[in-house]
Structure 1
Amino acid sequence: MSFDVTDRATGDGWDGILAEGETITWQGRPDAAVAFGFAQSVGMLFGFAFAGFAAVWMALAASAGGYFWTFGLVHFSVGIALAVGSVFGPPWVRRHTWYTLTDRRAFIATDLPFRGRKLIAYEVGPDTPLSLEEDGDFETVNFAHRWVQRKKGSRREDVGFERIPEGRVVLELMRRMQGEKR
């Protein structure tokens, strides 16, 4: 089952989600094309280096005879998954994502296999930090932050409508919302 934002532009299907009098002002989807940048190249290099080390270890273990070399298959597979996942993972997630902006909130909906459906709402108020990032033909409108736990502490990530063609229009809608709430 997936979210179909085109059928919901009139508010149908949003019963119990939207507040009384809340109206949808914009809906869209992110671009799902593969975008190759610095983060993807680093992930790819690390993954291939990890897989390459595992392949060398497996070759050396195989030369000793027996089946001990098969323990390296897990590491080799993880390395390949890291390399491929860093390039094709984000577009795959974007392909399963929908965005909705109302006159009060921003919604990000995802429908990912094995993770299920998720709908997260972000209040857009006068103090909401808004920013626009340009990436070729697409723009990202950031309107929130989240803290992601890492092995050595946590890191702040921007939250927003990623890789949309009408980012400036959405940013202007959000700025108008902020002005109306002041």
Structure 2
Amino acid sequence: MKEKIVILQNDIWKMEVDAIICHANTELEMCEAISSLLLEYGGDDIQNECNSFEQLMKGQAVLTTAGQLPAQSIIHAIVHNLGEDHNDGEEEFLMKAIREAFILIKEKKFKSIALPLIGSSSLNIPVKRAAELIMAEVKKHLDGETFVETVYFVAQSYIMYDAIDEAHRQL
């Protein structure tokens, strides 16, 4: 299972994978740093498809096109309400959204996944803790029946890389 996890520093919007998991809010407005770059490079088709969803809740995950990105799809892990202050319990929504994302991954029989360290900036979860939470959910998926061959954790900084690497070593 550990060999299926690859940690790297890269531009996630350049990844040739079946799906990219990204942070999302309940309105699917792609306004966070990484999601806005996915939209910029992927084109308006992504946001147009996002606009077709209604009444989404924290902890859900939904799949859209990846537009002009080299990835096939984007899975939006909904971790907060647009404009909301972050409270206790955010870790629960992060874990639930990642779990829901991996349910979609299993349904679609995706083999390669890329994801950034969701939650560390958007939910104010400490970087190390966000890495531990997400790694635990990925491990649960990879330990079960799966088509996934590779999960790419894409770090945006050395601090994030080190936190993901430490969480990976603790598996």
Task: Please state which band the TM-score falls in when normalised by the shorter chain.
Answer: under 0.3
Could you say which structure has the greater relative contact order, defined with CA pairs below 8 angstroms and 6 or more residues apart? 2
- Greater Rg, structure 1 or structure 2? 1
Relative to the length of structure 1, the TM-score reads: 0.24
Relative to the length of structure 2, the TM-score reads: 0.25
Quick check: which one's strand share is greater?
1
